[in-house]
A = this chain, B = another copy of it.
């Protein structure tokens, strides 16, 4: 009897142990999901400006063929993101189409604001803390990389606070913009403000800031006889201006790279520089895409990213936040250059491939790719679905017909207006993430949630 009792006691103990382990395991999993004790490391956020599903499909068809796949397409997490914008004078009223300033602000701060604003609140004009500032406060490294001027709306919204996106340097603080007064005087240093965007970036604690926009740094700092570039140096930045210098840059210094006066040149253009054309009297002649000669000495988005990741990860135990923008998917669509947008989406896709390799070696790296808002370009029939009729059927706007490497012609329509720049659209945009993002992003989210998810992932 004693023997049986002993066996039973052992059995009960074993069973209890197994049960306890199962319960403990499920608690641990739940805890690490819901409430991570340690910051998970690094976040690389890649923004394709204006990169909606039309832009992606157009680029996929051209770069990989209709049955091909971009690196983007292989990402294990895919969501849709609702873009939110509010009215400046009546902030309870929604607006249905964003610009890059208010949409980048939503991603960078989690707060919805009005068009044109850089990390400041609608109407109240209050500064809103950004993910970059939160990461810096937690001792993490931070970086911004863009193919635009570093002072442009998307990068600026992560590390500056100002009323209007075009107040990019000390000489552009009060001016007329598309017929409206752009007045950033409240942000001027003489009025107790932090100064223009370039001055704020020069004085920032960013570890790496790469892109264009030299002209915003060669002007003098407000109330000084020294340039903003000089200010950046005095704040500890190593400043470089060429692809050669970038290739030879080594980790260990905070790096400011300004590789052109304004936005960086784009990689592709239409044949002989052709843009979209009005179809009247007949459809525009099909054209090939060709290399843009102006791109020659421009550092690629991938090279800038490579250097940024070196600087951010070198001997770093505290993690980092890096935002990378392919800016001219949008800018080329504004200017009706379909080939230009395709080339910049190719830049984003090859940069993503590089970042995913980095994440393979540094598995605590969350990689998120998204767009800030939709763009005008539409993939349309290269000749109308109704072209059999005797009467001409074609867009009232402008059109590009691209000769495709895999055969056939692809039509791209630009017809949101007849101004020098097309409109943005209000379509929800895609979001992608790598494996570590599984379970973090529901299939449909709003743009401010991206901030919340990244913040929580970094434990900030």
Q: Known interface pairs A80-B53, A93-B407. Does A381 touch B423 (Cβ–Cβ under 8 Å)?
A: yes
Is A179 touching B423 in the complex (CB atoms < 8 A)? Answer: no
Is B15 touching A178 in the complex (CB atoms < 8 A)? Answer: no
**A382 neighbours in B (Cβ, 8 Å):** 96
* Of A38-46, A289-297, A309-317, A411-419, the one with at least 4 CB within 8 A of chain B: A411-419
| Least CB separation from A430: chain B residue | B80
Q: Known interface pairs A65-B94, A66-B96. Does A417 touch B393 (Cβ–Cβ under 8 Å)?
A: yes
Q: In the bound complex, what is the Cα–Cα distance between A94 and B68 (angstroms)?
A: 12
Q: Known interface pairs A92-B407, A96-B408. Does A428 touch B57 (Cβ–Cβ under 8 Å)?
A: yes
| Least CB separation from A22: chain B residue | B22
Is B379 touching A426 in the complex (CB atoms < 8 A)? Answer: yes
A175 beta carbon closer than 8 Å to chain B: no
A218 beta carbon closer than 8 Å to chain B: no
Q: Known interface pairs A394-B417, A413-B416. Does A15 touch B19 (Cβ–Cβ under 8 Å)?
A: yes
- Among B92, B386, B415, B423, point to the contact of A385 (Cβ < 8 A): B423
Q: In the bound complex, what is the Cα–Cα distance between A444 and B417 (angstroms)?
A: 32
Q: In the bound complex, what is the Cα–Cα distance between A411 and B94 (angstroms)?
A: 13
Shortest distance between the CB of A441 and any CB in chain B (Å): 10
A380 beta carbon closer than 8 Å to chain B: yes
Is B423 touching A57 in the complex (CB atoms < 8 A)? Answer: no
Q: In the bound complex, what is the Cα–Cα distance between A315 and B11 (angstroms)?
A: 48
**A177 neighbours in B (Cβ, 8 Å):** 388
A361 beta carbon closer than 8 Å to chain B: no
Query: Which size class do A's interface residues fall under?
Result: 35 or more
Q: Which of A395-436 contact B (CB under 8 A)?
A: 395-397, 404, 406-411, 413, 415-419, 421, 423-428, 430, 432
Q: In the bound complex, what is the Cα–Cα distance between A76 and B426 (angstroms)?
A: 24
Q: In the bound complex, what is the Cα–Cα distance between A418 and B421 (angstroms)?
A: 22
A230 beta carbon closer than 8 Å to chain B: no
Q: A57-B82, A66-B94, A386-B419 are in contact. List 12 more A-B contacts (CB 8 A).
A: A8-B9, A12-B15, A56-B428, A60-B428, A78-B443, A94-B404, A97-B380, A179-B388, A179-B389, A376-B378, A379-B427, A386-B417
**30 pairs, A vs B, C-beta closer than 8 Å:** A5-B8, A11-B12, A15-B15, A15-B16, A18-B19, A53-B53, A54-B374, A54-B427, A60-B428, A61-B96, A66-B94, A67-B84, A74-B444, A77-B443, A93-B407, A95-B408, A96-B404, A96-B408, A97-B385, A177-B388, A379-B427, A380-B424, A381-B424, A381-B426, A384-B419, A386-B421, A396-B418, A397-B397, A397-B415, A413-B415
- Which 8 pairs between the two chains have the least Cβ-Cβ distance? A415-B415, A78-B443, A379-B426, A179-B388, A73-B444, A180-B388, A396-B396, A15-B15
